[in-house]
Amino acid sequence: MKIEFSALFEPQKEGGFTVTFPDIPEAITEGDTMEEAIFNAQEILTGCLEQRIEDSENIPLPEVRKGKHFYSVSPSAAVQSAILVRLSKNGKSLADIARALGTSWPAVQRLENPKHSPTLKQLERAAAALGKRLILSFE
Protein backbone atom coordinates (compact mmCIF):
# COMPACT_ATOMS: atom_id res chain seq x y z
CA MET A 1 0.00 0.00 0.00
CA LYS A 2 1.51 3.25 -1.11
CA ILE A 3 0.17 6.18 0.84
CA GLU A 4 0.15 9.42 -1.11
CA PHE A 5 -1.83 12.49 -0.18
CA SER A 6 -2.88 15.15 -2.66
CA ALA A 7 -1.91 18.74 -1.94
CA LEU A 8 -3.65 21.87 -3.12
CA PHE A 9 -1.44 24.88 -3.89
CA GLU A 10 -3.29 28.18 -3.86
CA PRO A 11 -1.46 31.28 -5.13
CA GLN A 12 -1.83 34.27 -2.80
CA LYS A 13 -2.46 37.87 -3.95
CA GLU A 14 0.50 39.12 -1.94
CA GLY A 15 2.71 36.41 -3.41
CA GLY A 16 3.61 32.90 -2.44
CA PHE A 17 1.40 29.86 -2.01
CA THR A 18 -0.81 28.33 0.66
CA VAL A 19 -0.75 24.53 0.72
CA THR A 20 -3.49 22.33 2.15
CA PHE A 21 -4.10 18.60 2.21
CA PRO A 22 -7.83 17.73 1.88
CA ASP A 23 -7.38 14.40 3.71
CA ILE A 24 -5.40 15.90 6.61
CA PRO A 25 -7.18 19.15 7.52
CA GLU A 26 -4.59 20.22 10.09
CA ALA A 27 -1.80 20.06 7.46
CA ILE A 28 -1.61 23.66 6.27
CA THR A 29 1.54 25.48 5.27
CA GLU A 30 2.82 28.11 2.89
CA GLY A 31 5.88 29.20 1.00
CA ASP A 32 7.12 32.36 -0.68
CA THR A 33 8.13 30.34 -3.75
CA MET A 34 6.80 27.12 -5.25
CA GLU A 35 10.01 25.32 -4.22
CA GLU A 36 9.63 26.50 -0.61
CA ALA A 37 5.93 25.56 -0.60
CA ILE A 38 6.74 22.05 -1.89
CA PHE A 39 9.42 21.57 0.77
CA ASN A 40 7.10 22.84 3.52
CA ALA A 41 4.26 20.62 2.24
CA GLN A 42 6.37 17.48 2.64
CA GLU A 43 7.45 18.56 6.13
CA ILE A 44 3.96 19.41 7.40
CA LEU A 45 2.42 16.23 6.01
CA THR A 46 5.00 14.02 7.71
CA GLY A 47 4.76 16.00 10.95
CA CYS A 48 0.95 15.82 11.07
CA LEU A 49 0.88 12.07 10.40
CA GLU A 50 3.59 11.41 12.99
CA GLN A 51 1.55 13.42 15.51
CA ARG A 52 -1.57 11.41 14.67
CA ILE A 53 0.37 8.18 15.20
CA GLU A 54 1.76 9.44 18.51
CA ASP A 55 -1.73 10.50 19.66
CA SER A 56 -3.25 7.16 18.53
CA GLU A 57 -5.54 9.02 16.14
CA ASN A 58 -7.00 7.67 12.93
CA ILE A 59 -4.83 7.75 9.80
CA PRO A 60 -7.21 8.26 6.87
CA LEU A 61 -6.79 6.50 3.58
CA PRO A 62 -6.12 9.18 0.99
CA GLU A 63 -9.03 9.90 -1.31
CA VAL A 64 -8.37 9.25 -4.97
CA ARG A 65 -8.13 12.66 -6.57
CA LYS A 66 -6.90 14.00 -9.82
CA GLY A 67 -4.18 16.57 -9.68
CA LYS A 68 -0.50 17.02 -10.09
CA HIS A 69 0.74 17.36 -6.51
CA PHE A 70 0.90 14.12 -4.54
CA TYR A 71 3.15 13.52 -1.56
CA SER A 72 4.32 10.46 0.25
CA VAL A 73 5.34 10.74 3.85
CA SER A 74 8.70 9.85 5.38
CA PRO A 75 9.47 6.12 5.14
CA SER A 76 8.96 5.45 8.85
CA ALA A 77 5.67 7.39 9.00
CA ALA A 78 4.50 5.73 5.77
CA VAL A 79 5.12 2.22 7.09
CA GLN A 80 3.55 2.99 10.45
CA SER A 81 0.57 4.66 8.77
CA ALA A 82 0.12 1.71 6.43
CA ILE A 83 0.17 -0.73 9.36
CA LEU A 84 -2.37 1.32 11.32
CA VAL A 85 -4.64 1.71 8.28
CA ARG A 86 -4.43 -2.02 7.58
CA LEU A 87 -5.18 -2.85 11.22
CA SER A 88 -8.31 -0.72 11.22
CA LYS A 89 -9.47 -2.08 7.84
CA ASN A 90 -9.05 -5.68 9.04
CA GLY A 91 -10.58 -5.04 12.47
CA LYS A 92 -7.36 -6.24 14.12
CA SER A 93 -5.65 -4.85 17.16
CA LEU A 94 -1.98 -4.64 18.06
CA ALA A 95 -2.61 -7.54 20.47
CA ASP A 96 -3.76 -9.65 17.48
CA ILE A 97 -0.53 -8.81 15.66
CA ALA A 98 1.54 -9.59 18.77
CA ARG A 99 -0.10 -13.02 19.01
CA ALA A 100 0.49 -13.68 15.30
CA LEU A 101 4.15 -12.68 15.67
CA GLY A 102 4.62 -14.61 18.91
CA THR A 103 5.89 -11.53 20.71
CA SER A 104 4.73 -9.15 23.42
CA TRP A 105 2.17 -6.40 23.00
CA PRO A 106 4.73 -3.71 24.07
CA ALA A 107 7.13 -4.92 21.36
CA VAL A 108 4.45 -4.54 18.70
CA GLN A 109 3.23 -1.27 20.20
CA ARG A 110 6.55 0.30 19.19
CA LEU A 111 5.31 0.05 15.58
CA GLU A 112 2.91 2.88 16.47
CA ASN A 113 5.64 5.08 17.90
CA PRO A 114 6.95 7.55 15.27
CA LYS A 115 10.11 8.01 17.36
CA HIS A 116 10.88 4.30 17.11
CA SER A 117 12.54 3.00 13.95
CA PRO A 118 11.53 -0.62 13.49
CA THR A 119 13.89 -2.98 11.69
CA LEU A 120 13.08 -4.32 8.26
CA LYS A 121 12.65 -7.76 9.82
CA GLN A 122 10.03 -6.40 12.26
CA LEU A 123 8.20 -4.66 9.43
CA GLU A 124 8.26 -7.79 7.25
CA ARG A 125 6.83 -9.84 10.09
CA ALA A 126 4.13 -7.25 10.83
CA ALA A 127 3.16 -7.15 7.14
CA ALA A 128 2.99 -10.95 7.04
CA ALA A 129 0.76 -10.97 10.13
CA LEU A 130 -1.60 -8.67 8.21
CA GLY A 131 -1.50 -10.98 5.17
CA LYS A 132 0.70 -8.60 3.20
CA ARG A 133 4.27 -8.33 1.93
CA LEU A 134 6.61 -5.44 2.62
CA ILE A 135 7.93 -4.05 -0.66
CA LEU A 136 10.60 -1.36 -0.75
CA SER A 137 11.28 0.76 -3.79
CA PHE A 138 13.50 3.67 -4.60
CA GLU A 139 11.94 6.41 -6.71
55 and 98 in a single domain? The answer is no
**Interacting residues of 10 by C-beta distance below 8 A, sequence separation 6+:** 17, 18, 19, 20
**Full residue range of the structural domain in which residue 54 is found:** 4-72
Could you write out the DSSP letters of every residue in 24-41?
EEEEEEEESSHHHHHHHH
* pLDDT tens digits, one per residue of 16-65: 999 999 989 999 999 999 999 999 998 999 889 888 877 878 777 777 66
| pTM of the predicted structure, to 2 decimals | 0.59
* Total domain count, the chain: 2
Here the CATH number for the domain that contains residue 115 is: 1.10.260
> Which range has highest mean pLDDT (45-49, 71-75, 114-118, 122-126)?
45-49
